[in-house]
Chains A and B, each alone.
Chain A
Amino acid sequence: MVSAPFFEIKELSCSIAGSKILEKISFTARKGDCVCIVGPNGAGKSTLLKCAGGLIRGFSGQVLLEGVSLPAMKRRLAARRVAWVHQTGADSLPFTVREFARMSRYPWRSSVGGETRADEEAVASALEISGVSDLADRKLGSLSGGERQRSLIAAALAQGTDILFLDEPTSFLDYRHQAETLALIEKVNREQGKTILMVTHDVNLALHTAASVVAVKNGSVAWRGGRGELLDVKLLKDIFDTDFEIFSSAGGSRYVAPKGLMI
């Protein structure tokens, strides 16, 4: 008997207010993988992630974690397996970094009774890994974009899941903070062994971080493959409807740029 894949999306379709957003999306991820979902704005990437995480309930198809339906799980139990880093929503919160990370322990805590030792340790080590221990007592709203993004990743780590869902983790960040956030995501993937499902419109981010890439266009899977294979100007044009050029440095690093943005 072939064992079920660690994480699997099967024929997922979703309509919102009568219009089809996603149609028959299928792909799998192995434990410890970093899968990147790329595609143009409005392709349905974020909706796909929300369906997969059970934040949107009205869809058909299956989302399976070790063969068990994730949307059918109790919210609290699902939150022990999957943690989110959302694109927006945390910028004006009144909580400190530590408080927010503590709140992420929710699925493990009982409604009465205080913090356990395991909660404290999970929070402390998440802050440490993400390099935000020094910011622990700062309010989320007072941080720079990069610091806040690392704090949000810390909170997701504190949640103690084996899967992380990241929605556009580097949008709104400047170059240095993009690089720092990417380094953290890679560290979390390699050293902590977290399985990562990440949505982005940034091809370079996908090439840099992901092991495999799923390209979504107009609500369907346009292409699937290893990241190396994404380095193909024809393929990129098909996905994004604009012309690209691929650059190589003397050291062998490569970079993709859309022609419309080149100087």
Chain B
Amino acid sequence: MKRWALPLLFAFSLTVVVAAPFVGAMNVPFSAVFGDPASGPARLLWELRIPRVLLGWITGSTLAICGLVFQALFRNPLASPDMLGVSTGAAFGAVLYIRLGLAFSLFGISGLSFAAFAGALLATFAIYLAGTVKRGGMSEGTLLLAGIAMSFLFGSANMIVQYSGGYTDTFRMMRWSMGGIQTVGFSSVWATLPALAAILVTALVSSRELDLFVCGEEIAAGRGVAVSRLRKLLFTIVSVVVGVNVAACGPIAFVGLMAPHICRKFVGEDHRRLTLASFFFGGAFLVLCDTAARILWAPAEVPVGILTSCAGSIFFLWLLLRER
């Protein structure tokens, strides 16, 4: 099973990405791909469906790899990018943007995304600062707790802003914090793709170090890993990458937490294989959930974060219970 797991995951991912744009509240025939670009089905396909599927795939892959790196870094199976203040920091930027009634866009990207990204950077910087203030640097446990504390701090700030807003604003804020990958055109795809490339390359290049991080700081240091320097570097890269993604799609729950665990069941513990598996699986999983989100209550949509949590946890429970 393990030898074929990676090729199978790759094939699965490719199939999902190729098929998903044609499925929806209205199915699009394959002929629309090369049909008259001004026709309804072709525009639906090229302006809405394909960008959305690509954005979903990029987001799922990004969150899965980020979760994998964080879990190794903190030696904690419950570590995920949403836990460490980055997502709530991004949400803080977003709710503030909505509350202040701002409305601008740059390069075809909404100002909401910029505000969210600024919030994510603020949170990252705050945690990082807390980590440097302490003499002798932070241990994995302290950094994790500092991140969780930061997350609650921003969470409470978000609630204050939400509470002070009107009904419409509050609904927009709540909807944003459920996450979603609705998009028109390719600008969000181009904005998030470099972040995915960055985290993919980072995780592959440091896969040996991640293997050793799993063994604990002392073993990793004894084997020659520059533990605290690398931890800071990886922490920063993951935070910025997640920040970019949350800015585009809002916080999408569960993928970053569970996709790495699901991949471990398929390919084992080697982080090079795990990175590739998370890359393939995370993307396909989110696209599947988003396709379901488009279809289930068509023409209305379910926020995709609800589906990822629901489907993912049931799937994961099944994997756990099936063993032995």
* B47 CB-CB contact with A under 8 Å: no
Measured CB to CB, the residues of B under 8 A from A are 136, 205-206, 208-209, 211-212, 214-216, 218-219, 221-227, 269-270
Q: How far is the CB of A94 from chain B (nearest CB, A)?
A: 5
Point out the residues of chain B lying under 8 angstroms from A94, CB to CB. Answer: 214, 269
Point out the residues of chain B lying under 8 angstroms from A106, CB to CB. Answer: 208-209, 212, 223-225
* A80 CB-CB contact with B under 8 Å: yes
The 10 closest A-B pairs by CB, nearest first: A79-B224, A107-B224, A84-B222, A76-B224, A94-B269, A89-B216, A106-B223, A75-B226, A75-B224, A111-B205
Point out the residues of chain A lying under 8 angstroms from B209, CB to CB. Answer: 106, 111
Measured CB to CB, the residues of A under 8 A from B are 50, 53-55, 57-58, 74-80, 82-84, 86, 89-90, 93-95, 99-100, 103-104, 106-107, 109, 111-112, 159, 165
State which of B212, B218, B224, B269 has its C-beta within 8 Å of the C-beta of A78.
Answer: B224
Q: Could you tell me the distance between the alpha carbons of A165 and B206 in the complex, rounded to whole angstroms?
A: 26
Point out the residues of chain A lying under 8 angstroms from B227, CB to CB. Answer: 75
Identify 18 residue pairs between A and B in the complex whose beta-carbon atoms are under 8 Å apart, listed by A's number: A55-B218, A57-B136, A76-B225, A78-B224, A79-B223, A80-B224, A82-B222, A89-B219, A90-B219, A95-B269, A99-B269, A100-B215, A106-B209, A106-B224, A107-B223, A109-B208, A111-B209, A165-B222
Point out the residues of chain B lying under 8 angstroms from A79, CB to CB. Answer: 222-224
Name A83's closest neighbour in chain B (CB-CB): B222
Name A110's closest neighbour in chain B (CB-CB): B208
Point out the residues of chain A lying under 8 angstroms from B221, CB to CB. Answer: 54-55, 75
Point out the residues of chain B lying under 8 angstroms from A84, CB to CB. Answer: 218-219, 222-223
Q: How far is the CB of A196 from chain B (nearest CB, A)?
A: 15
Point out the residues of chain B lying under 8 angstroms from A75, CB to CB. Answer: 221, 224-227
Q: Could you tell me the distance between the alpha carbons of A107 and B222 in the complex, rounded to whole angstroms?
A: 10
Name B205's closest neighbour in chain A (CB-CB): A111
Main secondary structure of the interface of A (DSSP, over half): loop
State which of A74, A77, A93, A112 has its C-beta within 8 Å of the C-beta of B215.
Answer: A93
Q: How far is the CB of B69 from chain A (nearest CB, A)?
A: 15
Q: Could you tell me the distance between the alpha carbons of A74 and B225 in the complex, rounded to whole angstroms?
A: 9
Q: Could you tell me the distance between the alpha carbons of A234 and B208 in the complex, rounded to whole angstroms?
A: 51
Name B207's closest neighbour in chain A (CB-CB): A111
Q: Could you tell me the distance between the alpha carbons of A209 and B215 in the complex, rounded to whole angstroms?
A: 29
**Contact in complex: A103, B223 (CB < 8 Å):** yes
Q: How far is the CB of B308 from chain A (nearest CB, A)?
A: 26
Point out the residues of chain A lying under 8 angstroms from B218, CB to CB. Answer: 50, 55, 84, 86, 89
**Contact in complex: A104, B223 (CB < 8 Å):** yes
Point out the residues of chain B lying under 8 angstroms from A82, CB to CB. Answer: 222
Q: Could you tell me the distance between the alpha carbons of A89 and B215 in the complex, rounded to whole angstroms?
A: 7
**Contact in complex: B212, A103 (CB < 8 Å):** yes
Q: A107-B223, A107-B224, A112-B205 are in contact. List 8 more A-B contacts (CB 8 A).
A: A53-B222, A55-B218, A77-B224, A78-B224, A89-B219, A95-B211, A103-B223, A104-B223
Name A112's closest neighbour in chain B (CB-CB): B205
A111 and B206 in contact (CB under 8 A), knowing A86-B218, A93-B214, A103-B211?
yes
**Contact in complex: B224, A111 (CB < 8 Å):** no
**Contact in complex: A55, B212 (CB < 8 Å):** no
Name B217's closest neighbour in chain A (CB-CB): A55
Point out the residues of chain B lying under 8 angstroms from A90, CB to CB. Answer: 215, 219
Name B230's closest neighbour in chain A (CB-CB): A75
Q: Could you tell me the distance between the alpha carbons of A95 and B224 in the complex, rounded to whole angstroms?
A: 18
Q: Could you tell me the distance between the alpha carbons of A107 and B225 in the complex, rounded to whole angstroms?
A: 8
Q: Could you tell me the distance between the alpha carbons of A86 and B219 in the complex, rounded to whole angstroms?
A: 7
Point out the residues of chain A lying under 8 angstroms from B211, CB to CB. Answer: 95, 103
Q: How far is the CB of A59 from chain B (nearest CB, A)?
A: 12
Q: Could you tell me the distance between the alpha carbons of A165 and B215 in the complex, rounded to whole angstroms?
A: 17
Name B135's closest neighbour in chain A (CB-CB): A58
Q: Could you tell me the distance between the alpha carbons of A50 and B219 in the complex, rounded to whole angstroms?
A: 11
Q: How far is the CB of A97 from chain B (nearest CB, A)?
A: 13
Name A111's closest neighbour in chain B (CB-CB): B205
Point out the residues of chain B lying under 8 angstroms from A111, CB to CB. Answer: 205-206, 208-209
Point out the residues of chain B lying under 8 angstroms from A99, CB to CB. Answer: 269-270
Q: Could you tell me the distance between the alpha carbons of A111 and B272 in the complex, rounded to whole angstroms?
A: 11
Point out the residues of chain B lying under 8 angstroms from A103, CB to CB. Answer: 208, 211-212, 215, 223
